[in-house]
Chain A
């Protein structure tokens, strides 16, 4: 863990995946995630791995489906419009109970949008990562080091519960450079007796499938999957806080926005407003009860996002009316400054006074 490297977020997450024993990457170029693919293209051939540039995001996610069904630790990466194309495959991967890692380095939307940082795919990641009743594990790093740590965790947790995981980053995290270190040793993936490896004519065929034409059977399969989702909600929630101990005003933010909010909390405190930060690290499962608990100790909540207000839905659901929740967002690829956020916090305090 000692050696430090100065790395771009996109490259650090790719290196983390390799160190986490991922040897199969399928991608398609799109800004601002392209460094992930470029890094994989350079590294994979040197270590006996596969980097394959697919003909589309649709094909890439289906190659991941194939590789995952063959038992490999497989991944793909893209940015917002590309993720929309992958949602078909993500639904099938979830429905086939396959683990896989999908990286979304978010950019401004909707449509072709822009190529600057954004957080406007929160709804897509947490509400409708594809058609049907299904969820993705969603991890939201807020530093380059966390991109490393959460990639490793996403692989391991996805395999534990046999479900796909997403690293929901943004163009700012992907493009920025910070010092990072990597764990000395990462456990090898556990054996996968369900994988399609060929029967060797020694066992019954393994079948990986998402079709159940009998409604009662399909309902049973979906319900069983949701029992696993309940376990995930109990065991896999991650969150962080900053200066919440004595805070009167709680800012809730994730990803790159959270680090800007940290600076905003400092500015607000210098101006005499006791602010603190609650930062969800997993967006699904959402730290609902933890946020509700913290909300009891503050008088106002401000949710800040690089979107028109998406995670704020989950904040309001968690708080459930016990504390007023305001929202401040920039969108289209505009990154808010600490000063403008601090101004929002102090305005809340002024309104209350």
Chain B
């Protein structure tokens, strides 16, 4: 019997712990499929965040390390500097990447560190039960903004791709979503391009993925997908923010 579809080799058989309707599972699969299709699964090292994806080391079928909260780009830097020929990626949420790890993110980007960052933006802290994230939308109700995020008091959301667009070391930055089939296909293309960018030694690459958190948003999975379309995309427009060669010296030239 002909096999017409099978699960990607990039994921293990381990059952994930993600809540029903959460889109982490989709993004895991996209990343894993890209690694498999590019033929680099055997030379990939992934870095897990602290947050909902903290246990991703059990799900990706490649060598994995767990980083302290926000430090994944620094950990990835250490790995990449030891093994420039390997593919190194981080998988981080909004609190990890855009709050506690802002410095590590921006400086890995300024160095043009030849790594790929998968950034899950779901506008909330999921793992700790739904507190305000750096990406929480104005007016959005969370456990720590019970009356809605008041930008006069709690400040404004961080637009990561817009911020990194102006950083010279960034070779590739794209914001995507996974709330519709069309967006999922675009997200996969962007992730593949980001890894390709790394394989070509072009510099820092990041793919932001607008993701859902039905549990902490207090919505059904379908409502959550709609909320991404109606609320998140208008604030966080999808599209490419950088696609260039940052003209890093080839690995090793400096040494």
Interface membership of A29, Cβ < 8 A: no
Partner of B64 from A49, A66, A205 at Cβ < 8 Å: A205
Minimum CB–CB distance from A216 to chain B (whole Å) comes to: 18
Contact code string A40-55 (vs B, CB < 8 Å = 1, else 0):
0000110011101011
Interface size on A, residues (CB 8 A): 44
A58 in contact with B57 (CB, 8 Å):
no
Interface membership of B68, Cβ < 8 A: yes
Contacts of B76 in A (CB 8 A): 66
Minimum CB–CB distance from B34 to chain A (whole Å) comes to: 16
Stretch of A4-12, A67-75, A275-283, A342-350 on the interface side: A67-75
Contact code string B40-60 (vs A, CB < 8 Å = 1, else 0):
011111011000001101101
Contacts of B58 in A (CB 8 A): 207
Interface size on B, residues (CB 8 A): 40
Minimum CB–CB distance from B12 to chain A (whole Å) comes to: 8
Contacts of B78 in A (CB 8 A): 24, 26, 62-70, 72, 74
Contacts of A177 in B (CB 8 A): none
Q: How far is the CA of A50 from the CA of B84 in the complex (A)?
A: 11
Q: How far is the CA of A58 from the CA of B47 in the complex (A)?
A: 17
Minimum CB–CB distance from B20 to chain A (whole Å) comes to: 20
Partner of A69 from B55, B62, B79 at Cβ < 8 Å: B79
Partner of A197 from B54, B61, B86 at Cβ < 8 Å: B86
Interface membership of B2, Cβ < 8 A: no
CB under 8 Å from chain A, chain B span 12-55: 12, 41-45, 47-48, 54-55
Question: Which residue of the partner chain A has the closest CB to B74?
Answer: A62
Q: How far is the CA of A213 from the CA of B43 in the complex (A)?
A: 29
10 pairs from A and B in contact (CB 8 Å cutoff): A65-B78, A69-B79, A198-B86, A199-B41, A199-B42, A202-B42, A205-B57, A205-B60, A209-B57, A209-B66
Residues of B that sit less than 8 Å from A by CB: 12, 41-45, 47-48, 54-55, 57-58, 60-68, 71, 74-83, 86, 103-104, 106-107, 252, 254-255
Q: Which 10 A-B pairs have the closest CB atoms?
A: A66-B78, A62-B74, A67-B78, A201-B42, A55-B107, A66-B75, A63-B78, A198-B43, A70-B82, A62-B71
Q: Given contacts A66-B67, A92-B68, A198-B44, list 19 more A-B pairs with CB under 8 A.
A: A26-B78, A48-B252, A54-B74, A55-B104, A55-B106, A59-B74, A59-B104, A62-B67, A65-B67, A65-B74, A65-B75, A66-B80, A88-B68, A196-B79, A199-B61, A205-B60, A205-B61, A206-B63, A209-B48
